[in-house]
Amino acid sequence: MVSEGEEAPDFTLEADDGREVSLSDYRGKSVVLYFYPKDGTPGCTREAIEFRDIVDELEKEDAVVLGVSKDSIKSHQRFKQKHNLPFTLLSDPEGKVLELYGVWKEKSMYGRTFMGVERTTFLINENGDVKKIYRKVKVEGHAQACLLDLQS
């Protein structure tokens, strides 16, 4: 389990544009690393749109947004195009990074349990250390909260 104050584990995943992206590629910048359950679902769409709408302000803080889910590259491409998302989406189909960051959890809905992504965001500073972790994220206002924490 990743904790605040420790170095964020590095990883490499395929991005929506087909290139391989490593977390370490962003050393020297702050990273908003957010894990979400599924492209196109209502909560995930609202979350992505909130980040999209403040991406210019995040860039002023020298921060980049990286979204991670188990969805395929094709799914990411459709989601990104449909909602005009100006940040990178990473595909983790085997769930290795989800496990590494401790966001692959047992969940329950309508009386049944299943494994799924717990909506979680990690703010990572320019040195690669975890500045803040938001677990069980409530979507509304979350992107703005991340921006305020980056500014502090």
What residues are labeled active site? 44
114 Cβ neighbours under 8 A, 6+ residues apart: 106, 107, 108
* CB of 133 closer than 8 Å to CB of 9: no
Q: Which residue is listed with tokens 């990743």?
A: 2
Q: How far apart are CA 87 and CA 144, in angstroms?
A: 16
Q: How far apart are CA 73 and CA 79, in angstroms?
A: 10
Hey, what amino acid is at 116?
Answer: G
35-47 burial, b if ≥16 CB within 10 A, otherwise e? bbbebeeeebbeb
